[in-house]
Amino acid sequence: MGTSGHSGHSGHSGQSGHSGHSGHSGHSGLSGDAASHAGSGSSPLLNQALVTTRDGIVGYWKPQGAAVMPGNANILYLRPFRRGYILDHELQRHVVVGSPTSFNGQPAEGANLVLTGTAQVTVAIPRPPAAVFDQQLKHMHSYADLRDDRLAEINVQIGDLLSFFGAQVYLDDERHRLQLEVLTATVRLAGHVEMMVKHFCRSPRPLDLAPEVQPMIQTPDHSSYPSGHACEGFAIACVLSRMLGGGDPAAVIANPKDKRHLLFRLAARIAENRTVAGVHFPIDSHAGAMLGIVLGELVWAVLAPGRNAQNTFDVPEIIAPYVNANGAQDEYYDIDFTLPELSERLRAAGNQPVEITRSQVLTGIWNKLT
């Protein structure tokens, strides 16, 4: 009798939107590279018709070319999926994730996020002690009470975050195609980075610690810490906030009166929904949000024009939201995830400037986004 029903698992291609919006950034692959003609799609019949048409109307001709070599500072002539490849290269080349040899002189467990600008800047992301997750477990019971209210959100957000941001910022897939291309590239950058950080910070899921959690969706196979949805949501919020003229995201998060603050409230709700669903601890969302802010600022720095050839932004020295600023740890082991708490964690993490040279091949795109 059949286990063939499990063929549906092939649909698990999306990491919070990685499989969606393929038309915006178009990473559908070169296998479908046959471009449409002016009036219809390519076909053997049309190809043959074009051959006979040429034979019938073109006589002998003498080549008289006068080639004009185009510049490379504009990628808008390319199809969206090819622009996506260039966007990915220009963003991902500035960030590397590795496993450090030590943290504060102790054997390392965690990741180093290395940002390569005019100088290398390293953000330490140590793996939390096991006791953190033991104390975080108490939050799972109260969050589970919200499952009925959040059911639709949680299910849609498994594979689609951008539609929720599109309810705050007008994101039509034709009128705002470039904005969506940049945002989907931001999501891909976040996925590219977060998965390596998760691997080096490999940590248990709530279900690993307590069967009573009974998640309402399937628990993913990768590490709980940091939250990928928090990372991607806050990265998107950062980029959109910058598109709308916002400044330092930490300042926007700390100021509820800022009109762009609502973007971060949405990112926080998306992250919180993963705890409601039973697949993440609140501490995962803190770390994911802090990582996402770094990556969102990187996107802005690579794309945005400025007076100089470089853009500068601040990143934390360490992403360890369970550590107090004075070095005490256990005080924050049971921390919940809220925007005010995130503001405190951002302040406690220290700041170090990163100077990123703007991409020369993406010149002019940012002005079309704002």
- pLDDT tens figures, 219-236: 999 999 999 999 999 999
- pLDDT tens figures, 13-28: 444 444 344 334 444 4
Average pLDDT over residues 317-328: 79
Q: Residues in the chain, how many?
A: 370
Helix axes 282-303, 177-200, angle to 10 degrees: 130
What pLDDT was estimated at residue 99?
86
Residue type, 112: N
d(CA 2, CA 18): 31
Average pLDDT over residues 176-191: 96
Q: Work out the pLDDT band at 330, boundaries 50, 70, 90.
A: low
What pLDDT was estimated at residue 122?
94
d(CA 58, CA 278): 69
What pLDDT was estimated at residue 61?
86
The answer, yes or no, to whether residue 32 has pLDDT greater than 60, is no
Quick one: which H or E segment has residue 107?
strand 106-107
- pLDDT tens figures, 95-106: 999 987 655 566
The answer, yes or no, to whether residue 171 has pLDDT greater than 80, is yes
Quick one: which H or E segment has residue 314?
strand 310-315
Mean confidence (pLDDT) of the chain: 88
The larger pLDDT score, comparing residue 308 to residue 351, is at: 351
- pLDDT tens figures, 49-75: 999 999 999 988 888 888 888 888 889
The answer, yes or no, to whether residue 2 has pLDDT greater than 50, is no
What pLDDT was estimated at residue 31?
44
The answer, yes or no, to whether residue 3 has pLDDT greater than 50, is no
CA-wise closest residue to 155 among 232, 218, 206: 218
CA 347 to chain CA mean position, Å: 22
The larger pLDDT score, comparing residue 2 to residue 112, is at: 112
d(CA 335, CA 337): 7
The answer, yes or no, to whether residue 309 has pLDDT greater than 90, is no
Q: Work out the pLDDT band at 294, boundaries 50, 70, 90.
A: very high
The answer, yes or no, to whether residue 332 has pLDDT greater than 90, is no
What pLDDT was estimated at residue 370?
67
Among 32-46, 213-227, 232-246, 329-343, the range scoring the smallest mean pLDDT is 32-46
Please state, as a whole number, how many other Cβ atoms lie within 10 Å of the Cβ of residue 48.
10
- Is 0.85 surpassed by the pTM of this model? yes
Q: Work out the pLDDT band at 158, boundaries 50, 70, 90.
A: very high
CA 180 to chain CA mean position, Å: 13
Domain annotation for the chain: domains and CATH numbers: 80-369 (1.20.144.10)
What pLDDT was estimated at residue 198?
98
The answer, yes or no, to whether residue 173 has pLDDT greater than 80, is yes
CA 68 to chain CA mean position, Å: 39
